[in-house]
Amino acid sequence: MFVTNLEKDFYDVIQRSRCLLLVNFDIDAICACRILQQLFKNDHVIYTLVPVRGIQDMINAFEENCEEIRNVIMINCGGTLDLVELLQPDESVVFFILDSHRPYDLCNIYSENQTCILGKPDEENEIPEYNDIFRDDSTDEEDTDEGSDNENESGQSKRRRLNEEDILRRSERRKWIENRATILFNYSQYSYYGKSSAILVFEMAWNMSKDNLDMAWWAIVGSTEQSILSKVESRITVLEEGSLQAHVSRLTRRQGADINKQQQQSIVKVTYDKDLQLALYRHWTVEASLKYSMPTAVSLRLWSIRGEQRLREVLAEMGLPLVQSRQLFRAMDLTFRQEFKQMVEKLAGKYNVNSIIGSSFTLQYGYRFKYSASDMVYAMLALLDSTTKDRQPQRCFLDTLDCLSRTNKDTVEDGIEKAKLMLHNIFKTAQSILEAKQVQNFGSFLYLNVPDRNIDTYLFAHPHPLIMLAQFALKAYVNCSRNRHAPEWPLVASAMFNAEEGSCLLVGIPPVCEDQPKR
């Protein structure tokens, strides 16, 4: 069932006893978790946090921590599964589902007590009626029992019992089953994403008058991750940005009224302003940021033989010397730093890269801690997907969670350095795939496989880098394809997940022509 009054039917309930917090490995879930942790800390709520990467992890985490647990909070996991059937919990256990994955499992939606979905139903996605999906077959069972008790009746007697009423009942049941199958197919044929879980938790804190600028920033980062990975359509992103900007303005005014002039330099500042959608350009060189950002790399075809020359031509036309473009942005001459945005804006239309002109939120704390929301997302993605034999996923999860703390600047900087390497490797892999023409056309969809011999194979055993590689490859393929149907084709990408088990990771990317990203 859906829970719309989160304060009364969710937050007040979980404060009564220790709860289990199961959090998926994605940035939106981590941001939502961080907001909840802050609320729990303020209200002295006892909880156990367990990160989960898949269904088996979720089952193991529940079995290991279910003793004396009555409330389980699922963040970006569990919503698309029948939790009661999967986990077999005691009747006293209640699952609170905070999941941006869609569509929800119908058993969770129509559960009366044991599964509670936080938030309102999606207006655009019609949920099937209960009677169209679930049916009480006790009458049919009684008919069957009667038939078995009378097995010794004569053939003539049996034929008499098979009257018109039985035939109509069976015909009606067949039609109901066929209609149910059609409804379920239409409901579950696509997977997609709904509202950011971080924003939902932040709005709950706001309604309880327990919100602050840090929580607003975490909600911004969670929403930005959805935008960077194209999880939601651009229209929703714009609406969410407007709502978050209003919250930031309100909280900034409230904060300003509570402090004196001596404290001005140490407060948190979140600003929303016009910005370039170039990856990490404030912490990288201009040349590298232009080369490894997807919009510019695709529009300028930087993976091609002439790509390097074309990039130099663009820099020359901007009036930016190579010496300046190849040193860190913060080390460039002040004049070039101040005019860089205007330089890019003048050439955006000419080179068809208008998508890099946009707006962004920026967090500043003191003089040295200043990062945009996209910087934070890239850093967190790189930390989250940096697992190795010596570095366990749980350690990566905790480091990513620490990224959201203003006192852990070193962790953020480490994440940014890892993000640079990640974006570089994604570009190089996409370049080799495109040059070798390894994007295969299967008529109704495109397919690519990351070669096992690739030196960066370990990177693409994680979903987020593989998604970014697939998005890059699809847009590049469409950009240079002469087939007019290319924008209508989705892409499926695969990469080796576990060589010992012979398993692979698959991701699906919707067509370029569709703004609503359903997979």
Q: Which long-range contacts (CB under 8 A, 24 or more apart) does 61-69 make?
A: 61/20, 61/22, 62/20, 62/22, 62/87, 62/89, 65/20, 66/20, 66/90, 66/93, 68/17, 68/18, 69/18, 69/19, 69/20, 69/93
Query: Nearest-CA neighbor of 399 among 416, 418, 412, 417?
Result: 412
- Residue stretches of the chain with pLDDT short of 50: 139, 141-142, 144-152, 261-262
Q: Where are the alpha helices (DSSP H) in 122-196?
A: 130-133, 138-149, 155-161, 164-188
Do residues 30 and 404 make contact, with C-beta atoms less than 8 angstroms apart? Answer: yes
Could you write out the DSSP letters of every residue in 12-29?
HHHTTS-EEEEEESSHHH
Do residues 230 and 324 make contact, with C-beta atoms less than 8 angstroms apart? Answer: no
Interatomic CA distance for residues 158 and 136, integer angstroms: 25
Give the pLDDT confidence score for residue 161 in this predicted structure.
56
Do residues 489 and 445 make contact, with C-beta atoms less than 8 angstroms apart? Answer: yes
Do residues 103 and 125 make contact, with C-beta atoms less than 8 angstroms apart? Answer: yes
Distances (CA, A) of 413 to 216, 217, 272, 360: 22, 18, 22, 20
Give the pLDDT confidence score for residue 162 in this predicted structure.
58
Query: Tokens 């939502």 sit at which residue?
Result: 32
CA angle 272-278-279, nearest 5°?
Answer: 100
Enter the tokens of residue 364.
């500043």
How does pLDDT run across 171-223, given as a tens digit for each residue?
Answer: 888 898 899 899 888 888 888 898 999 999 999 999 999 999 999 999 999 99
How does pLDDT run across 355-412, given as a tens digit for each residue?
Answer: 888 889 999 887 777 899 999 999 999 999 988 777 888 999 999 999 998 888 899 9
Give the pLDDT confidence score for residue 265 in this predicted structure.
52
Give the pLDDT confidence score for residue 424 in this predicted structure.
93
Handedness of CA 327, 369, 281, 283 (dihedral sign): positive
Beta bridge partners of 116: 96
Interatomic CA distance for residues 392 and 398, integer angstroms: 10
Handedness of CA 295, 296, 301, 302 (dihedral sign): negative
Interatomic CA distance for residues 3 and 118, integer angstroms: 5
Do residues 352 and 372 make contact, with C-beta atoms less than 8 angstroms apart? Answer: no
List phi, psi (to 5°) of 83.
-65, -40
Contacts of residue 501, Cβ cutoff 8 Å, sequence gap at least 6: none
Domain spanning 1-124+172-258 has what CATH number? 3.90.1640
For the chain, the structural domain boundaries read 1-124+172-258, 267-426, 437-509
Give the pLDDT confidence score for residue 473 in this predicted structure.
93
Enter the tokens of residue 217.
């920033």
Enter the tokens of residue 267.
């407060």
Give the pLDDT confidence score for residue 52 in this predicted structure.
94
